[in-house]
Amino acid sequence: MAVFDTLRAARTLRAAGFGDAKAEAVAEIVQAVANGNRVTRADMQGVAMKVDLERFATKADLERFATKADLEGFATKADLERFATKADLERFATKADLERFATKADLEALAAKTALKSDLQDLELRLTIRLGVVAAASVTLTTALVVGINQLLL
C-alpha cells in the first residue's frame, strides 16, 4: 500500500496559494482516496473548487499593475508637504486685486510724460543760459559804446 505524505501535500498546496485550512482539507481528502476511503459531499464542503477560484486575480492579471518599484518615482505625501496648500494661496493677490494697480501701459505713458518734461526743462535751461549770454553781451556792448562815445566827446 502506497503512503501518502499529507504534510508535503499541504505545503505544496500552501505554496500554490491555498490557505492553511483548505490545503490541509485537500491533503486529507487525497489521503482518504489514496487509502481507499470514499470521499463524501461533507468532506468536500471546505474545499475550493475551480469555479470558486475564477474570481481571483491571476499572476498575468497582476502584471498589468504598477509595482512598488514603479511607484518610487512618484511624489510621496512627504514630498507634497513642501508645496503650498489652497489655504496658503488665499493670502496672495488675485486677478481682481491687481486690477486696482497701474498696468505696464500706464507706466510707459508716465515714463514718456516724465521724459518729455525732462526734455522741456533741459531746453528751458539752455534758453536761460543763452539769454544770459545775450544779456551779458548786450551789457558789455552797451558799456563799450558808452565808453567809446564818452571818449569821442571828450
Is the confidence at residue 28, as pLDDT, over 60? yes
User: Over the stretch 93-127, which tens digit does the pLDDT of each residue have?
Assistant: 777 777 777 788 888 888 888 888 888 898 899 99
Binning pLDDT at 50, 70 and 90, where does residue 129 land? very high
pLDDT tens-digit map of 38-86: 666 777 777 777 777 777 878 787 778 878 787 777 777 777 777 888 8
pLDDT for 72 equals 78
DSSP 24-93: HHHHHHHHHHHTTPPPPTTTTTTSPPHHHHTTSPPHHHHTTSPPHHHHTTSPPHHHHTTSPPHHHHTTSP
Enclosing H/E stretch for 21: helix 20-34
Bigger pLDDT: 88 or 11? 11
